[in-house]
Chain A
Amino acid sequence: MEVQKEAQRIMTLSVWKMYHSRMQRGGLRLHRSLQLSLVMRSARELYLSAKVEALDLETPSTPTRCPDPRLHPPREAEVPAACVPPDGEPLSPEPMDTQEDEEEASPRAAETLARCSAHPARVGRKRRSSSLSNGVDAGLVPSKKARLEEKEEAEDASSEVPDRLLPPPAQAEGAFPNLARVLQRSFSGLLNRGPTAPPTAPPARDAKPVCRPADPVLSVLVRAVVAF
């Protein structure tokens, strides 16, 4: 749990740093962005592996639909192991169902991310102001994070940078608990399927630079928000 908290804190911090780095004089620094994204990736891996370990100990939860992760009450994924034995029987059919659901959910999650983010994305692109903050759809929550790193890794995203406004950091921080949940749902499905999970068909992709060496999990998330 501590590990998860620490990893989450570092992820939050990294996002803040990425946001802040575009404010400095001289524009986005490629090396700095690369380093921040490396830390982000390590933190995420740490977080996910800790999550997976925790998941191994308890019942997997039913994945909710992506569009409104915030509407669903934050579900405590960590069911105490002690609870499992008494509920053993009724739960046994469930894990199988949810696993299938999860597997289906992950590619669907990515697509729904794309769908639900498409509209606010278009709105966001036209409205070059912080109105993105009130236009925030639930779908923007996870995609915003991926977009953040994606942009920070842009080669001279300097030109694109002023066009895309980030919501204030406070929002980014507030979004994290939900982001973590979405990540967990999306990735744990992929993790269950194994490392060779093929990514979903990418929507029209412009040359959005992301420094991830062919990481299918992350490129799924990134491609989903490429509509920006």
Chain B
Amino acid sequence: MAGAGGGGCPAGSNDFQWCFSQVKGAVDEDVAEADIISTVEFNYSGDLLATGDKGGRVVIFQREQESKSRPHSRGEYNVYSTFQSHEPEFDYLKSLEIEEKINKIRWLPQQNAAHFLLSTNDKTIKLWKISERDKRAEGYNLKDEDGRLRDPFRITALRVPILKPMDLMVEASPRRIFANAHTYHINSISVNSDHETYLSADDLRINLWHLEITDRSFNIVDIKPANMEELTEVITAAEFHPHQCNVFVYSSSKGTIRLCDMRSSALCDRHSKFFEEPEDPSSRSFFSEIISSISDVKFSHSGRYMMTRDYLSVKVWDLNMESRPVETHQVHEYLRSKLCSLYENDCIFDKFECCWNGSDSAIMTGSYNNFFRMFDRNTRRDVTLEASRENSKPRASLKPRKVCTGGKRKKDEISVDSLDFNKKILHTAWHPMENIIAVAATNNLYIFQDKIN
């Protein structure tokens, strides 16, 4: 099960033994709003793990190389770089404050020693370069070691500066700022497989950018109606196909997904494929419309499937079949009868994300009470786990949790009414190749690993 994804026997999620590895973040009960994690993303190799928070900061963790003295322990993730990506801004024209909260981070594939990532808030996308510096030049002729200029009359000899090792310093610098292209709030960014372009999506429009060009972008989708009174749906997420650089999908608040091909026309308002599951009339309720809104869409690594998350379920779609999903997994069906209360406390508007494992054999998504759910697509088994400080002993196995939906509550089960709806797991990430997962629980980041060695 360890090592390169997909090798060996197809492991079920229940065959995984998830163990606590690390937790990052403050222990205080009082959570500062700025510390709430708003996005989590592994890079392409999985060596770097980036988080963004509501305060506009990005924290990057790096996996330590496994040490020879403890060959069986997995590498830990430690802080590599921290920087302020976005600051609060004020739009004077609209008298609006623009939040600094990082909505999404997407890594670029690595092309040289430096690492690049895109981070975005509601209005502005930034390309950051994270580079290491472990040498510095010493022995300048015209200035001292501390930078002060030397008195020219004191210089009697000439010397060649030499490079000396120094403590590793990781610098983050903004290389590009892509601004002023979105009237509405940006909900997604996605790097194209051509490694040259990326898309950004807001409620009504999707723009295509070139990574080198900041003063122009192409609008490729525009669903704003001529008469805003006719608005019935908004774009909720968008992503490029992992291999076909001309294909992307976007999801809507009505529970539909449109696949577009940029070769067909410059403005992709007309979709190439339209994915929608017919509504089950028996499950129709007062809040049906809003719980069908898709909060996240993710292509599988293979590019054959895509996964969508709505409020109560995760669905896997085959790109070749538009009529209905090939799999539907219930995340927390026991909440269906509580929708009215969830509307009152605003939880019904929570936007959960979802992710695939490296081999596309398992999917994961979050829930309430710091629970997160994993579904194995091969064995059809699912498991509920909890991210909590109580289970934070090193390498402690996570015990599966169960929610009691009615009737007699068994030991170790938790009843629906006891769930803490303030503890929600909206953002999760799975290492692209290994069984390591990162789970964001409010202001804490939990890292779990599969107990293999």
Contacts and interface: CB of A to CB of B under 8 A. Distances in A.
Question: Do A and B interact with each other, yes or no?
Answer: yes
Interface of A: 10, 13, 17, 25-27, 29-32, 34-35, 38-39, 42-43, 46, 153-156, 158-159, 161-162, 207-214, 219, 222
A158 B227 CA distance: 18
B231 A209 contact: yes
Contact of B229 (A35, A46, A162, A208): A208
Contacts of A34: 231-234, 253
Contact of B183 (A155, A208, A209, A210): A155
B93 interface: yes
A46 B94 CA distance: 36
B229 A27 contact: no
Given A27-B97, A158-B91, 14 more contacts: A27-B94, A31-B234, A31-B253, A39-B290, A43-B286, A153-B228, A155-B228, A155-B231, A156-B184, A161-B95, A208-B229, A213-B230, A219-B229, A222-B229
B412 interface: no
A29 B96 CA distance: 12
A31 B93 CA distance: 22
Contacts of A30: 184-185, 203-204, 234
Contacts of A212: 229
Given A26-B97, A156-B183, A39 B231 contact: no
B349 interface: yes
Given A13-B344, A30-B204, A214 B230 contact: yes
B43 interface: no
Contacts of A27: 94, 96-97
Nearest to B290: A35
B228 A26 contact: no
A39 B287 CA distance: 7
B293 interface: yes
Interface residues of B, number: 36
B96 A26 contact: yes
B346 to A, nearest CB: 8
B94 A159 contact: yes
Given A31-B203, A39-B287, A39-B290, A159 B93 contact: yes
A212 B229 CA distance: 6
Contacts of A155: 183-184, 204, 224, 228, 231
B310 interface: no
B96 A158 contact: yes
A119 to B, nearest CB: 25
Contacts of B286: 10, 39, 42-43, 46
23 contacts: A10-B343, A25-B97, A26-B96, A27-B94, A30-B184, A30-B204, A31-B203, A31-B253, A34-B233, A35-B289, A38-B289, A42-B287, A154-B228, A156-B94, A158-B96, A208-B228, A209-B227, A209-B229, A209-B231, A211-B229, A211-B230, A213-B230, A222-B229
B233 to A, nearest CB: 8
Nearest to B228: A209
A213 B233 CA distance: 10
B122 interface: yes
B94 A26 contact: no
Contacts of A211: 228-232
A7 to B, nearest CB: 9
Contact of B94 (A32, A153, A158, A207): A158
Nearest to A13: B344
B236 interface: yes
B230 A158 contact: no
Contact of A32 (B101, B289, B349): B349
A2 B96 CA distance: 41
B343 A39 contact: yes
A26 B293 contact: no
Contacts of B96: 26-27, 156, 158-159
Contacts of B224: 155
B99 interface: yes
A51 B96 CA distance: 41
B98 interface: yes
